[in-house]
Amino acid sequence: MQLVVEPEVTAARAVVALESTLVAHGLPWPDNLAVARELEDTVRAFGGTPATIAIVDGAVRIGLGGDALVRLARDGSQHAKAGATDLAVHLARKTSAATTVSATAMLAAQAGIRVFATGGIGGVHRGDADDVSHDLVALARTPIVVVSAGAKAILDLPRTLEMLETLGVLVIGYRTNEFPAFYSPRSGLMLEHRAESAQELADIVYQHWQVLGSTAGVLVCNPIPDEAAIDVDDSITRALEDATLAGITGKRLTPFLLARLADVTAGGSIRANRALALNNARVAAEIAVAIAADRA
């Protein structure tokens, strides 16, 4: 598989991967382009180099230079949403697709990128323990640090955390003892491990991969800032009821629930999502810089 890597990314040492699903499907135009650029600018401001990843006309793009990012944002509805298991289809058919957490993690690792910032990972769906996002499997198989505000709040968080442990994913709270609940820094679910700095995290992943030889990922749980947190428990209940009435399940469920949350919170969930994504980009850049310094 050929990777088309932007020159800025090729020349960099502290690279942070960014997913493209948020850009193509997470926000309306032109807000999505503004947030995409803000994420990239945040990574640069903290010493890293951003690499937004997508499939463009059948090519894996590691970094979207020129008008590629604009095209992705403007024509997002025309781009499929591709997980890791969907990539071969788009490569063979030379179509375009936005990458989810699982696809972004896999492609980033193949490009030699070791840090990835996202909003929240997928997990076990509420009410159906058999409906498990491939994000968790991809994390278990991919040597990459994923910085996330926990798992999406619409999920079954206790079962998601349990599944991460079962799959052998190292989960570390960044300056927190709790598994974040995406829109809230607190879930009541306690974590085994906590780190206080990017350097400490860099030291841990060195031991995890280089010394112990693990090929599994590391999930860094970075809570949403307190001032950006919102209470969405009642809104999630309403959205789940709406999904049940509409008969929506499977891959369509998460996009439906997130859209309904945006409606019932009058856009509050979107503002919170932006804040936590930017916070994750900052921490990811700091980790990438610390890892690069250790390699020097």
In the chain, ranges of CATH 3.40.1790.10 domains: 1-113, 114-296
Q: Which of 81, 152, 178, 286 is catalytic?
A: 152
Q: How far is it, in rounded angstroms, from Cα 58 to Cα 208?
A: 34
Q: How far is it, in rounded angstroms, from Cα 200 to Cα 172?
A: 11
The pTM (predicted TM-score) of the whole model is: 0.94
Q: How far is it, in rounded angstroms, from Cα 242 to Cα 245?
A: 5
pLDDT one-digit tens code per residue, 276-291:
999 999 999 999 999 9
Q: Which of 6, 19, 40, 178 is catalytic?
A: 19
Q: How far is it, in rounded angstroms, from Cα 156 to Cα 257?
A: 14
19 among known catalytic residues:
yes
Inform me whether the pLDDT recorded for 295 exceeds 90.
Answer: no
pLDDT one-digit tens code per residue, 196-230:
999 999 999 999 999 999 999 999 999 999 999 99
Q: How far is it, in rounded angstroms, from Cα 199 to Cα 294?
A: 9
Residue 73 near residue 36 (C-beta atoms within 8 A): yes
Residue 13 is predicted with a pLDDT of 95
pLDDT one-digit tens code per residue, 115-163:
999 999 999 988 877 889 999 999 999 999 999 999 999 899 999 999 9
Residue 262 is predicted with a pLDDT of 86
Average pLDDT over residues 80-89: 96
| Choice among 85-89, 93-97, 120-124, 243-247 with the minimum mean pLDDT | 243-247
Tokens encoding 5: 């890597």
Inform me whether the pLDDT recorded for 26 exceeds 90.
Answer: no
What is the identity of the amino acid at 187? S
Longest dimension (CA), the chain: 56
Inform me whether the pLDDT recorded for 89 exceeds 80.
Answer: yes
pLDDT band at 27, cuts 50/70/90?
confident
Percent of the chain with pLDDT over 90: 77
| Exposure letters 257-269 (e unless 16+ CB within 10 A, then b) | bbebbbeebeebb
* Domain 114-296 belongs in CATH node 3.20.20.150: no
Residue 270 near residue 25 (C-beta atoms within 8 A): no
β-partners of residue 81 are 98
Query: Domain 1-113 sits in which CATH superfamily?
Result: Indigoidine synthase domain (3.40.1790.10)
Q: How far is it, in rounded angstroms, from Cα 119 to Cα 149?
A: 6
Tokens encoding 192: 């085994």
Residue 51 near residue 19 (C-beta atoms within 8 A): no
Residue 296 is predicted with a pLDDT of 62
Inform me whether the pLDDT recorded for 254 exceeds 80.
Answer: no
Q: How big is the chain by its Cα radius of gyration, in Å?
A: 18
> What mean pLDDT, rounded, does the chain reach?
94
Inform me whether the pLDDT recorded for 252 exceeds 80.
Answer: no
pLDDT band at 251, cuts 50/70/90?
low
* Region for residue 14 given its phi and psi (left: phi exceeds 0; alpha: psi -120 to 50; beta: otherwise): beta
Evaluate the omega torsion of the peptide bond into residue 158 and state whether it is cis, within 30 degrees of 0: no
